[in-house]
Amino acid sequence: MATGLVVLRITRLPKYFGPAELRKYIEQFGKVHDLYMPKSKKTFKWKDNACVRMSSEVAPLVASTLNNLLQFNKIIKCEILPDNKRLFRTNRYLRSSTRALDEQSRIIATIKRVTALNARKKMNITNNLSRKSLPQAVRRRRYNLQKRLVAISKTNPNFKFQGKNQ
């Protein structure tokens, strides 16, 4: 941390109080050296807290003014953080995403997917094509009809089914 600078933590900010509005509001007390407002990973909206780096002469005045301040039906809280808090680190922004896959794992996944698809296609060719050519609903209805005809023929052997073709 540079000498003469302290970090203020401002919490419980109003809903639509973004970094531009906060910077403009705090700069009336003195120069703002750095401002950090985190965003939600899910909605990309601003969260309700912020960290501001400013000179140590003005920081107590800003903290006492902003602490317990009612704005837009929200009570803003403000405090000066101790020096051991490392908030404005530059390496924070250099971290790679944990969800991103590296190139080699993407290639392996693609190869597995393509080989599985090719194997399924070969199995479909070797299976009975006449059976697979009918939709599943038609096959199910035909099977149920055959079961009913067998059950009826057991109870009444003289029964003759008159279908379309008969």
* pLDDT for position 140: 86
Domain count, the chain: 2
Residues 123 and 67 grouped into a single domain: no
> How would residue 141 be classed by pLDDT, with cut points 50, 70 and 90?
confident
Residues 58 and 121 grouped into a single domain: no
Tell me which of 40, 59, 82 is where a domain ends: 82
Residues 66 and 13 grouped into a single domain: yes
Q: Are 6 and 54 in contact (CB under 8 A)?
A: yes
Residues 20 and 72 grouped into a single domain: yes
Residue ranges making up the domain that contains 125: 114-155
* pLDDT for position 23: 94
Q: In whole angstroms, give the CA distance from residue 68 to residue 74.
A: 9
> Quick check: is 103 in a domain?
no
Maximum Cα–Cα distance for the chain, whole Å? 107
Query: How much is the pTM?
Result: 0.51
